[in-house]
Amino acid sequence: MGKITISTLDKLKAAGEKFVCITAYDATFARLVSAAGAETILVGDSLGMVLQGHDSTIPVTVDDMVYHTECVCRGGPDSLVIADLPFMGHATPEVTMVNAARLMRAGAQMVKIEGGTWLSDTISMLVERGIPVCAHLGLTPQSVNAIGGFRVQGRTPKEAKSILADAVEIQDAGASLLVLECVPAPLATDISEKLDIPVIGIGAGPGTDAQVLVLHDMLGLSSHSARFVQNFMQGNDSIQAALQAFVAAVKSGAYPQEEHTYK
């Protein structure tokens, strides 16, 4: 596959080719995910739920994210490594700068932050200082208490218009990637077509430039699975085969299907 960079992802979007993102939290799985052909690895604050046993991502700390980012990068993946800034890790521009620098020193090649246009100045500040940014809109798990639970976002015309406006402004602020989580498929397709930067979907339908799943979800290890999750261990005899099946399904357009999307 060769070492993946932001330029690689831009070229894939321009060519209309899908790419893949899978979460990983340690060196072993980072090697496996990269070997399976996933262009990007997300060291997600989802570790709070799938590793630490919490019922949300909110308890995850910056120290947790630094530790797991270091573990992933020691695996030497060719995939582009994106690390989450956890809850309150980007509360102010100054706090964001310090925490983003820690993640980059841990080996991340990009940081991911949840939130809308209120982050525009922060994104510009990070990018100006050499820290690439992946934005995250739609269902933002760190805001689960404010939005009333893990709910699909963008179902009303007003909500959809707001998410699109946020996406455009965040791109203009300098973000290199955008994650859209749990939004109706037509909205995600519209945003992906309007933006120049690649859009990664999760529960956002097939029209995005890439798909991401949490490792434990796609391997059928989670006790509760969202509508958009497919268990890729079914029909495969090894973890590596399941990872390869997910990569192949995303690239061919076989995943996600209508059953995985929201109207």
Q: Point out the residues that are catalytic.
A: 181
In terms of C-beta density within 10 A (0-12 exposed, 13-18 middle, 19 or more buried), how is residue 55 classed?
Answer: exposed
- Give the contacts of 28 (CB within 8 A, at least 6 positions apart): 75
